[in-house]
């Protein structure tokens, strides 16, 4: 059948199983939006307040559902407003297809109104990008974009479509799109060498990351840990890949990891890294990272092997498939002395001791208690992000949605909207700081418009808390531009957007306010007034090794 480019685009999205798009219209995509109007009974479009919100919503949708997220923006500023969201997805390996309009082909390169070289701009932050120059190529480009976004290590792909391509017609033939097959060719020799390392180890430790979640390999990781009796630590992106309630779990690793995890990694003789990339926030001082350990690295992306830390042995392949093969060959071994050593190191997670004052811990622990750990938690970026990882016990994959690699302030609310759309009926909390929340609070209008019962919890310390913490500890308390003594009333802001607002100032109010919020089937903002100098502990100081982790300021003085 003969269709316009705009209709071909929508038909191809339907081929891929897309039923949800987040976006914002403009001149260069008018024909696409006209087609969306025609197909409105088959694809739901969510109009965000800003294109960055659309990108973060598509990202949150992808993380919560495991599907490819889709966002749409017009040319020029519309396209560039997507860039931070695309980069966020790229750093965290999230499958996303961003569609942008552009000026007509004959106007490209002439500094036309709202023209920008978006393929050039996004080249470093996408797995691949395309500019469509012939309508006859559009269908295959869309199909290829989705394949690239999903296959191997997932990531974002951009399709730039000049306006005249959306008008031109050509023949379109529908296709049935099958599942992506992750090709893993792992030799028996590679598996046998890995098994030998595991069997020889007296003190094995597992360090798992977001690749386990991307590969849907949490069950295989669980089996491996129990079969070899190894403690498990997770990166921030890996939270939920292994249950935080399991006795083998030692907490997060890295700059704000637990003392147990950081010291166990320092003392182990084999570190099994699964779907993790040894980022600087995990490793800290490279030359003193896991100094007694051989490293076995399992990852789908060969580029990550020996990039930051050298491995004694590695296996490149789909994590789920590789772990399944390893689990078949594991032999039982008594590692009681090592487990006893780790259990002795394993401290309780920080308690929400308040001494009459409201703290992040008492709020987050109560959220966990009242939701039975079944909520979807998104975060902005800062101290509140780390407190969330410390106090909320994530037991399943895709329940923590946070910007790990890029550290994007303003990410959480858009991501919460996407997660709420992806998982209707699930309660979604966005844990925010007052600084981060201000960046994209306009997306409250989106949540209200579509009646999404997102609960925003603002840890309001009237400061850019994480930066202030560094200024306090390492810059002699010179608080340059981190104090936010602004007059913003977040309750009134919420009400102005049509949401419900609460102020929370004392620990005895926490349960009552949260229960009221959970009883409402609409967006809620809870402003939690916390102490400006409530810090994130533990912490590995800059330039230090994991074993130099400090648990409070008195440790810093000693060191």
Q: Which two tokens stand for residue 178?
A: 């099958």
Distance CA 249, CA 225 (A): 10
Q: Quick check: is 325 catalytic?
A: no
- Among the listed residues 115, 127, 130, 163, the single catalytic one is 163
Find out whether 377 and 415 touch, Cβ atoms under 8 Å: no
Q: Quick check: is 113 catalytic?
A: yes
Find out whether 458 and 465 touch, Cβ atoms under 8 Å: no
- Among the listed residues 38, 113, 307, 495, the single catalytic one is 113
- Among the listed residues 114, 226, 285, 426, the single catalytic one is 114
Q: 371: cis peptide before it, omega within 30°?
A: no
> Which has the closest alpha carbon to 244: 281, 218, 272?
218
What crossing angle do the helices spanning 319-329 and 188-200 adopt, rounded to 10°?
Answer: 60
Q: Quick check: is 466 catalytic?
A: yes
Distance CA 458, CA 434 (A): 6
Q: Which residue has the tokens 């079944």?
A: 374
- Among the listed residues 51, 115, 304, 365, the single catalytic one is 51
Find out whether 463 and 484 touch, Cβ atoms under 8 Å: yes
Neighbours of 176 (CB within 10 A): 5
Find out whether 420 and 453 touch, Cβ atoms under 8 Å: yes
Q: Quick check: is 15 catalytic?
A: no
Q: Note the Cα 323 to chain centre separation in Å.
A: 23
- Among the listed residues 91, 459, 466, 539, the single catalytic one is 466
Q: Note the Cα 435 to chain centre separation in Å.
A: 19
Q: Which two tokens stand for residue 220?
A: 């295989």
Q: Which residues are catalytic?
A: 51, 113-114, 163, 466
């Amino acid at each position: 059948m003969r269709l316009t480019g705009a209709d071909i685009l929508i038909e191809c999205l339907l081929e891929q199983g897309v039923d949800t798009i987040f976006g914002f219209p403009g001149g260069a995509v008018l024909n696409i939006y006209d087609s969306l109007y025609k197909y409105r009974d088959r694809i739901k479009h969510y109009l965000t307040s800003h294109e960055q919100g659309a990108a973060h919503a598509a990202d949150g949708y992808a993380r919560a559902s495991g599907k490819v997220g889709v966002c749409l923006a017009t040319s020029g500023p519309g396209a560039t407003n997507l860039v931070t969201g695309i980069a966020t997805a790229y750093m965290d390996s999230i499958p996303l297809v961003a569609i942008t309009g552009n000026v007509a082909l004959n106007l490209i390169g002439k500094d036309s109104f709202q023209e920008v070289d978006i393929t050039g701009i996004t080249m470093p932050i996408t797995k691949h990008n395309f500019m469509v120059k012939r309508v006859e190529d559009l269908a295959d480009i869309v199909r290829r974009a989705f394949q690239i976004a999903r296959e191997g290590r997932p990531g974002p792909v951009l399709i730039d479509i000049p306006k005249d391509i959306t008008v031109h017609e050509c023949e379109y033939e529908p296709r049935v799109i099958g599942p992506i097959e992750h090709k893993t060719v792992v030799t028996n020799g590679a598996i046998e060498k890995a098994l030998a390392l595991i069997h020889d180890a007296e003190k094995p430790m597992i360090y798992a990351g977001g690749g386990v979640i991307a590969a849907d390999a949490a069950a295989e990781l669980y089996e491996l840990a129990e079969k070899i009796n190894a403690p498990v630590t997770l990166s921030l992106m890996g939270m939920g890949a292994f249950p935080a309630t399991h006795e083998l779990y030692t907490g997060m690793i890295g700059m704000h990891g637990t003392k147990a995890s950081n010291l166990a990694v320092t003392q182990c003789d084999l570190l099994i890294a699964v779907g993790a990339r040894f980022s600087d926030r995990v490793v800290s001082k490279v030359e003193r990272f896991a100094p007694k350990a051989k490293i076995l690295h399992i990852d789908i992306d060969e580029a990550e092997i020996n990039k930051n830390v050298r491995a004694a042995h590695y296996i490149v392949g789909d994590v789920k498939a590789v772990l399944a093969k390893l689990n078949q060959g594991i032999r039982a071994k008594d590692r009681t002395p090592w487990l006893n050593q780790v259990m002795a190191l394993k401290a309780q997670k920080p308690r929400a001791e308040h001494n009459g004052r409201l703290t992040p811990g008492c709020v987050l622990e109560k959220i966990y208690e009242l939701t039975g750990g079944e909520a979807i938690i998104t975060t902005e970026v800062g101290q509140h992000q780390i407190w969330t990882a410390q106090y909320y016990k994530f037991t399943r994959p895709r329940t923590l949605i946070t910007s790990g690699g890029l550290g994007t302030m303003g990410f959480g609310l858009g991501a919460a909207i996407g997660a709420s759309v992806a998982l209707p009926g699930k309660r979604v909390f966005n844990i925010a700081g007052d600084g981060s929340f201000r960046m994209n609070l306009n997306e409250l209008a989106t949540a209200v418009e579509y009646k999404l019962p997102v609960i925003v919890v603002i840890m309001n310390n009237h400061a850019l808390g994480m930066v202030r913490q560094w200024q306090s500890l390492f810059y002699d308390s010179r608080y340059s531009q981190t104090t936010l003594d602004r007059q913003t009333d977040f309750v009134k802001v919420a009400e102005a957007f049509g949401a419900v607002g609460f102020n929370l100032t004392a620990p005895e109010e926490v349960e009552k306010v949260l229960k009221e919020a959970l009883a409402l089937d609409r967006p809620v903002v809870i402003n939690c007034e916390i102490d400006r100098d409530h810090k994130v502990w533990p912490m590995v100081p800059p330039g230090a090794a994991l074993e130099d982790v400090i648990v409070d300021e008195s440790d810093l003085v000693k060191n």
